Structure 1
Amino acid sequence: MNETPPELSTQLIHHPYQPPAGFAAPQPGVFKASTVIFASVAAMRQRDWKGKAGYTYGLHGTPTTFTLEERLCTLEGGLQCLLQPSGLAAIANVALALLKSGDEVLIPDNAYGPNKALAEGELRAWGISHRLYDAMDPADLAAKIGERTRLVWLEAPGSVTLEFPDLPEQVRICRERGVLCALDNTWGAGLAFRPFELAPGLGVDISVHALTKYPSGGGDLLMGSVVTRDEALHLKLKLTHMRLGLGVGLNDVEAVLRSLPSMALRYRAHDAATRELAAWCARQPQFAQVLHPALADSPGHAHWRRLCAPQGGEGAAAGLFSVLVDARYGQQQVDAFCDALRLFKLGYSWGGPVSLVMPYDLRAMRPGWPKHLAQGTLLRFSPGLEAVADLRRDLEQALAAALPPPP
């Protein structure tokens, strides 16, 4: 008896053709899936979503996400990686996995603002307390670690003001007191220093990275990562990751995979442009202070040099610098300077091809005006990939238009 052939719509869905194996190209294939097909019930029951031996559901990984995770482990020197919808989501994943009501988290006073906002908002509402510590004073960190402290955040350099801490000493203090430490490593990006190998036998427990910046390089996607070296710690983070339903878009994963091969080249280009422009700004009388870890008079320069240039040479210093516009200029004048810039666009983030500038209200960000900073209005610059000479001319014309030299 002849079977009735399936209708066309069914044939298109259940088509028997399989392409031959062995295809190779510079970029890995992109596998998009929510549903994963199992060969049998037995095969389904043998799969474990917590590992990478097989696939269970798109949220728990596809060949594409596994590939990016492994490459990010290589980049940062870790063994396990979790992809996140954004850098802030990565911070939240760590906090929610490791903290419970009654616990305390310590955060540097110059940390990424949304990390502090998370602590002041959701964490506080859930009975998790937090305290800020002086990122440039290891003794202050040591004094503030208490019986309820379960997590210490580190950041090198600090957000916006770019002070570079004694990161190995901070990690040593956490290790001695048996407290986990997590580093926001977006600036270092795995290229300026090795977060898990700060000194022999000394490294952070967790490295969080906003892949939105250098790994993406295009200013066109949001993604983050959490990298570890301890399997038990990774599993604890992954269980929370699963329960929160944190996932990433596969087109975005493809974009990061495509950008990773050029990341080191772009990082060096951003670094070189930033140093040249920061040095030029340091010679302008309108700026009371220029903040960049590689400048000899920038706060924490010696710590940066020991960690990022241990053998001498240029070291690595990413692509951000900040200036404090002399206090003699009012906010309207500083705003006019920003508006007068043509190549530097007003926008948050960094690490993309377009140069950016952003004014910040430092008094609203810090508990008090830091003694190591001059008085003035803070501007953060993120040089992109334009010609440095053009960026310098842009700064010159904006200064002439809005911030004439003081008498």
Structure 2
Amino acid sequence: MTGNGAAAPRPAAAHEDLLALFEDRGYARVEPPVLQPVEPFLELSGEDIRRRIFITQDGAGAELCLRPEYTIPVGRHHRATAGAGPAEYSYLGPVFRLRASEADEFHQAGIESIGRPDVPAVDAEILGLALDGLERLGRRDMRVRLGDMGLITALLEALRVPPAAKRRTLRAVAAGRSLDELAAPPAVDAAHAGLLSAIQGQDPQGVRAFVEDVLAIAGISRVGGRSAGEIAERFLAKAAAHAEGGAGLGARAREVIDAYLALSGDPDAAAGAVRALTRGAGLADPGLEAALALFEERNGFIAARGLPLERFTFAGSFARNLDYYTGFIFEVAEAEGAKPVVGGGRYDGLLQHLGSPEPLPAVGCSFWLERLEARR
């Protein structure tokens, strides 16, 4: 399926060679089903993917979707086969997203490492494998951009930013939007005030079920492109902000966050700059210290692998637009400002959302094969 009705091209021999590299490094090839339950993608993917999913139903009326990416399907495969044990996977196959000017069906390759506790070492390994894979495809001297969702989250928590404002800040950063809208509390019209007060502190699953029931009674499945779950999530976020007195970002928090987002350059120098920033702001927080120590340790593992850390760029404003990322993130492109040909990062909370009794460390990346082919 493509935007113009043509079939997507089959993976090239070079792509199979890429998978052979991953398998040689211990990443076993898997191929999760193309049809997947839609709910995990609606709950855990970013809005950019949620609004472009192809949704269908099975004979019993359960909602399914064509696989829009591989990370969640590989996580579900891990839950079904490996449970809580560590495992490493590779994949190559079609994914499906509605796209205005590009094929709706396209191939991706990638790797996922799930369950290994040596977090900074595995982060460096995934980045190194991504660059090795690009070299196997004849791509060298690429631009590498690094970020850290765990570090900015820890900074917001150290600044005591209220939960609703923290969520709005992270989403604004991921979407590349200005934080100006967060300087003031979100508007709540009088018609919604009673509802927001009623759902404050309620179980999110119960609120979601309530919204789904109301929409079902009205014969509505989606509103403005949003599912019932997305609508419920927005109500919960507004209710939290309402309970916090409509708190937005305070002036001090905004100043520190702006300084962090402005950081860009050598990752080692960035680590020192973040430490200076937090000392200047008087932030002595154990969670922030742990996130900074992890950042520095990861830099050490990247350098120890022989990767040119000094040629990579850390950007405080860099965030990927998938909701499940919790830590290290990266993108690789052929030039400044070009679309990435590889992207990935750490998603330690995803497996628990998929049913794991405990959080499992996990990190991976995917290759945009069509972009690589277009540049041959």
TM interval, shorter chain, is: under 0.3
Flag the structure with higher helix content: 2
- TM-score of the pair, normalised by structure 1: 0.21
- TM-score of the pair, normalised by structure 2: 0.22
